[in-house]
Structure 1
Amino acid sequence: MMIKRFVTLNWKIKLITLVLSVLLWSFVTFKGQTEVILELPVEFKNVPKGYELSNTSTNTVNVSISGQERIIKAIGPQDMSVYVDVDKVKPGESIVYLKNSNIKLPPSLTIKKITPSYVTLHIEELITKTVSVKPVIKGSPKKGYVISEITVSPDNVSVTGTKQSLTRRTTIETEPIDIKDATSTVEKTVPIILKNYTVASQRDTVKVTVVITGENK
């Protein structure tokens, strides 16, 4: 009888000890755990040659992550990123859904949620076109003088841009040339205003000559 009571009591003590051990383990495991939301920039990779990523619905996403607080505090910009591979995305508008595989984070951290969960992309074909250079003149010569001639060298350039933006374009402007109160010819080398274009010939400046003469000449 005494032996039976001893065994029963011993079993209860073991059970209580086991429960306390599990609780202690859980406390140690979850102590220091935290969840944060990081705003990360989206990097778009592998745009097909001859195409341009002209528009995206967002350039950043919010990523909710959980893990040890000390690890989260220690991570830097080089440890986390969001990337979208557009190599197989078709021209036009497409929707790319973001998955955990799109997020680079230390393996000890867990991704809980990505907001927004997708990115809308617009990829356009690039074309090269020759357009005329249009000099932009700012101001006027001094009273009694006039502009008798304007020349541009070269007077046309080849530019590369999206098919949509270049289809109807026939000219491209220069940065303004100031001739306020000028009494003689003004000659300047000025940049072309490229906006969303690139120059196929690598020439992004032109020489503009504004010939100014007296009104009676």
Structure 2
Amino acid sequence: MIRGFLDNLGSALLALLLAVMVWVVAITDGNPVQAKAFPSEGVPIQVLNVPDGFVLYESIVQRAMIILRAPSTTWDTLNAGDLVVFVDLAKTEPGIHDVPVQVRCARCPQERASIVRIDPARITVRLEELLEQRLQVLVDVKDRPPQGYTIETTSSNPEYVKVTGPRSQVEQVARVVAPFLTKGAKAEMVQPITVLPIDGQGRTVSNVEISPSTVDVRVVIGELLGYKEVSVRPNIQGSPAPGYYMSNISVSPSTLTVFGMPATSDKAPGVLETEPIDVAGAKVTVLRRVAVIVPDGVTVLGGDPNVLVRVEISAQQGGGSLVIEPTIRGLDAGLTASVSPKTVQVILSGPLPLLQGLKPSDVPVLVDLSGRGPGTYKLAPAVEAPESFKVVSLVPDTVEVVLAVAPTATPSPTPSPTPKKR
């Protein structure tokens, strides 16, 4: 009896094993296992447990490629956030180390996913003592102010910054510089400037952090003793022709720097006039190079007391109207056209001197009949205004055109000859 029971148990276990194998094959066929990189772009490598008082010589910017093996349905539910790729630097001593890259995936077991390979499997890190220094900001003015001006003071806010990083790099920082450009300024300037860590050879030091990284730089620029900046005022004489006006006046340069004995230059007026510039009767822009009248005892810096004066002359604008008979274009042969109304009113704006001499023949009003057959049409005429003129309105803005077939001329009968009497 026991023998029979054992035979039956063996058969049952064999049947159960076969059933499990059939189930596994069926499941696998419907949900095949695949191995591939996930995610395709890789995962950033994190650095964990850096010992207190130490820092990496340079940041790790590598990404690790993770090869996972999982059923095909798993790829739809797994996401990149499920993977944490890291190196653990706990208890690591200063120096260069070859450390393993590790992966943590909390959802992988329940998703029946396994890690096949990590690439790279190991990376090299350099651990150094963290060093911090407090350095004063040096304002480095890269250019010079204009002649007659000088840089009086420079300062930064804050005056000191903190430099941190690996000891080997921080120790190379000889100074922290704020490069500054005056760009021809003649007064006080305040600008935010990004500071740079510089070594003893004038090169920028990498792998260090500066806090704050930007400071407000103040540069005070003042006039040298005996120098004075003065404005130039053009001396315009006369008036443009009737119907014209001075639309703009410009001077280049608009200021000059004069110098002399301090007692003399300080008494020089703040505005100097030019020699007279005559624009009487002008209808176009006047361009003249003239001398500036400089008082005794002072000299123009650079030795050239001349400036270029530009007086722009523009025509006064006005408005007017003309009554014009439209001109027909594109009328097919064999057709006649009649336009109603016979004339239209064109309202224009433009230069007043030209407007006063404008004639109807100067402003064509065109009605295009190209490709049109017999019938009645409402058409908008086109106005060809001369250059410098603008069409304000057209009254009326449409005309009625009637196209008809031209009548065919009937030939006159030839008279019969009268018989002569014999």
Once residues 137 and 122 of structure 1 are traced to their aligned partners in structure 2, the CA distance between those partners, rounded to angstroms, is 37
Report the Cα offset of residue 61 of structure 1: 1.2
1:131–1:169 CA contact under 8 A, matched in 2 = no
**Bigger helix share:** 1
**Aligned-partner residue type, residue 148 of structure 1:** E
Once residues 198 and 211 of structure 1 are traced to their aligned partners in structure 2, the CA distance between those partners, rounded to angstroms, is 26
**Aligned-partner residue type, residue 166 of structure 1:** V
Report the Cα offset of residue 178 of structure 1: 3.5
**Structure 1 residues 204 and 74, CA, compared in 2 at 3 Å: closer, same or farther?**
same
Once residues 88 and 34 of structure 2 are traced to their aligned partners in structure 1, the CA distance between those partners, rounded to angstroms, is 30
Name the stretch that deviates more: 51-60 or 34-43.
Answer: 51-60
**CA RMSD of superposed structures (Å):** 3.1
Does residue 81 (structure 1) correspond to residue 80 (structure 2)? The answer is: no
Larger Rg: 2
Does residue 209 (structure 1) correspond to residue 218 (structure 2)? The answer is: yes
Partner of 1:34: 34
**Structure 1 residues 130 and 188, CA, compared in 2 at 3 Å: closer, same or farther?**
same
Report the Cα offset of residue 75 of structure 1: 1.2
**Structure 1 residues 120 and 58, CA, compared in 2 at 3 Å: closer, same or farther?**
farther
TM-score norm. by structure 2 comes to 0.41
Does residue 60 (structure 1) correspond to residue 63 (structure 2)? The answer is: yes
2:56–2:166 CA contact under 8 A, matched in 1 = no
Once residues 217 and 61 of structure 2 are traced to their aligned partners in structure 1, the CA distance between those partners, rounded to angstroms, is 41
Does residue 109 (structure 1) correspond to residue 113 (structure 2)? The answer is: yes
Report the Cα offset of residue 211 of structure 1: 2.2
2:44–2:61 CA contact under 8 A, matched in 1 = no
- Which digits, 9 at most, give the CA deviation of each residue in 1:42-78, with x for residues without a partner? 1111212211122367621111111111112221122
1:53–1:122 CA contact under 8 A, matched in 2 = yes
Alignment gaps of 5+ in structure 2: 1-10, 198-205, 228-422
**Aligned-partner residue type, residue 197 of structure 1:** E
**Structure 1 residues 204 and 41, CA, compared in 2 at 3 Å: closer, same or farther?**
closer
1:134–1:171 CA contact under 8 A, matched in 2 = yes
Partner of 1:7: none
**Structure 1 residues 119 and 58, CA, compared in 2 at 3 Å: closer, same or farther?**
farther
**Structure 1 residues 55 and 168, CA, compared in 2 at 3 Å: closer, same or farther?**
closer
**Structure 1 residues 54 and 179, CA, compared in 2 at 3 Å: closer, same or farther?**
same
Partner of 2:188: 185
- Which digits, 9 at most, give the CA deviation of each residue in 1:84-115, with x for residues without a partner? 2212222111111235xx33252121111111
**Aligned-partner residue type, residue 213 of structure 1:** G
**Structure 1 residues 21 and 131, CA, compared in 2 at 3 Å: closer, same or farther?**
closer
Once residues 192 and 118 of structure 2 are traced to their aligned partners in structure 1, the CA distance between those partners, rounded to angstroms, is 50
Report the Cα offset of residue 118 of structure 1: 0.6
Report the Cα offset of residue 120 of structure 1: 0.9
Partner of 2:419: none
Once residues 58 and 154 of structure 1 are traced to their aligned partners in structure 2, the CA distance between those partners, rounded to angstroms, is 32
Once residues 214 and 59 of structure 2 are traced to their aligned partners in structure 1, the CA distance between those partners, rounded to angstroms, is 31
Once residues 88 and 18 of structure 2 are traced to their aligned partners in structure 1, the CA distance between those partners, rounded to angstroms, is 49
**Structure 1 residues 136 and 64, CA, compared in 2 at 3 Å: closer, same or farther?**
same
Name the stretch that deviates more: 161-170 or 187-196.
Answer: 187-196
SS in 1 for 2:58: strand
Q: Whose RCO is larger (CA < 8 A, sep 6+)? A: 1
TM-score norm. by structure 1 comes to 0.74
Does residue 130 (structure 1) correspond to residue 134 (structure 2)? The answer is: yes
Report the Cα offset of residue 138 of structure 1: 4.8
Once residues 36 and 205 of structure 1 are traced to their aligned partners in structure 2, the CA distance between those partners, rounded to angstroms, is 46
**Aligned-partner residue type, residue 209 of structure 1:** R
How many residue pairs get matched? 197
2:51–2:89 CA contact under 8 A, matched in 1 = yes
**Structure 1 residues 153 and 97, CA, compared in 2 at 3 Å: closer, same or farther?**
closer
1:184–1:213 CA contact under 8 A, matched in 2 = yes
Partner of 1:146: 150
| 4+ residue segments displaced more than 6 Å | 18-21
Residue of structure 2 aligned with 1:51, choices 31, 47, 54: 54
Q: Percent identity?
A: 23
Alignment of 1:170-181 (within 5 A): 170-174=174-178, 176-181=179-184
**Structure 1 residues 21 and 86, CA, compared in 2 at 3 Å: closer, same or farther?**
closer
Report the Cα offset of residue 190 of structure 1: 3.7
